[in-house]
Amino acid sequence: MSEPRAVNVFVAYDLREAAVRAQELCEQVDAANSTPLQLKLWHFDDILSPATHHAATADAEISKIVLIAWTQPEGIPASIIGWLEAWARSRAVTDAILAALPLETPTTPADFDSLTLALLQRIALENKLPFVDSRSHDLGLTLEDFSDELRLREQTLTPTLEHILTTAHYEPHGHWGIND
């Protein structure tokens, strides 16, 4: 039996503390999961540097998970948000996941984290990416659990959907339209 194929995880971070937290989290997931994780750690400055920008982008393009970790109370720089938008539009892995790992401290202003999380959620939504926030969802979920959760949601028959399916629908008028 062959070894399971490693899942590439691209970690973008602002300070060393954020990188260490992301690495520890990935080690916990790796230990609890049958699928090994292959981490690529990139500092925000290196992602934006002309000398290393292409290498960072290449690593992100082949990653299943792009994890953004930050410790600064002001959140993620606008230049990293722009880079993430470009990555999300041109990513090679169509079922990639965008994840957020903000530093939680009593002195961190909630407004900054909320704004940063809202920006990341918008990027995920606009580009049809699953979004995982460490404060509202457990980043330690295994990849299989995440896939199972998506399958369960896709098979759920909500009351709204049930109503649509059981209600009689009448054909629209033959001459209804914008040019009529």
Domain boundaries, the chain: 7-166
Which of 32, 110, 50, 38 shows the shortest CA–CA distance to 75?
Answer: 110
Q: Which CATH superfamily is domain 7-166 in?
A: Flavodoxin domain (3.40.50.360)
Structure tokens at 119: 């920006």
Predicted local confidence at residue 77, as pLDDT: 94
CA distances in angstroms from 96 to 50, 113, 148, listed in the order given: 25, 23, 16
Q: Do 126 and 87 form a contact (C-beta atoms < 8 A)? A: no
Predicted local confidence at residue 137, as pLDDT: 44
One digit per residue, pLDDT tens: the chain, 180 residues? Answer: 566 788 999 999 999 999 999 999 888 887 877 778 899 999 999 999 999 999 999 999 999 999 999 998 888 999 999 999 999 999 999 899 999 998 765 555 555 567 888 999 999 999 999 999 876 544 444 455 555 666 666 667 777 777 777 887 666 666 666 665
- How far separated are the first and last CA of the chain, in Å rounded? 65
Task: Report the predicted TM-score, pTM, of the whole model to 2 decimal places.
Answer: 0.71
| Strands of the 131-133 sheet, one edge to the other | 37-43, 7-13, 65-70, 97-102, 131-133
Which of 10, 135, 137, 134 shows the shortest CA–CA distance to 65?
Answer: 10
